[in-house]
Amino acid sequence: MTVRQEVYQSAFNPAPSLPYNLRVLDFQSAMQDVYDFFYDVNLHLHDKRLPRLDDMLRPANLSGTISDMLTESLAKHSRSLVVNAYHNGHPDLLVRGVYPDDRVKSGEEGVEIKSTRKKGGAVDTHGGRKQWMCVFVYEVDNVTEPANSRTPMTFREVYLAQVEPDDFRRNERGELGTRTSTLDRDGVAKLRRSWLYMDR
């Protein structure tokens, strides 16, 4: 049976430190937008006797989809942020009016959005840099049987912290791999201290 997930207001940090006029309400609304989308799509798929979106998408594709949806929705609900109009530009959300046409290949004034299934929020990036990083940790039930009884995709943790290049370690890859960076132990600890949502 398809179930509509709800964001728990009680799971938010009661005294978060948020940049750029962001509000807890912005995050709550954006997360609920994602839940509502999954519910609507999965209800349609269920009626067609097709697998849930959660089960059809590969993990990397699902993370990318969730990140893109959260970026768009946070821009819609926030008072000061817009989507970076530069394709694959950094960060994902920019402070409105800081960059020409609200587009920049690589900037600092804004928030980078990531989503992952990894508890604690350790996620790969394309380079360590000074940035506000927001990481949404979600959970997907791909094992319960029958599949119709599976729990919907659920946000478990959200972190938002300002990190520096020194907070990252470089991940060396082979000749065909893309070099990435991940927050090191101290960087992850900094991120986790700045938790915004915790539903465990």
CATH number at residue 76: 3.40.600
Report the pLDDT value the prediction gives residue 168, as an integer from 0 to 100. Answer: 79
Residues forming beta bridges with residue 97, ordered by sequence position:
none
Cβ contact 157:195 at 8 Å: yes
Q: How many domains, the chain?
A: 1
Cβ contact 27:196 at 8 Å: yes
Residue 8 located in a structural domain: no
- Name the residue range of residue 38's domain: 17-99+106-198
Residue 24 located in a structural domain: yes
State pLDDT tens for residues 179-199: 677 787 888 888 899 999 999
Residue 5 located in a structural domain: no
Query: pTM for the full model?
Result: 0.91
Residue 163 located in a structural domain: yes
Residue 1 located in a structural domain: no
State pLDDT tens for residues 5-59: 999 999 999 999 999 999 999 999 999 999 999 999 999 999 999 999 999 999 9
Q: What mean pLDDT is reported for the chain?
A: 91
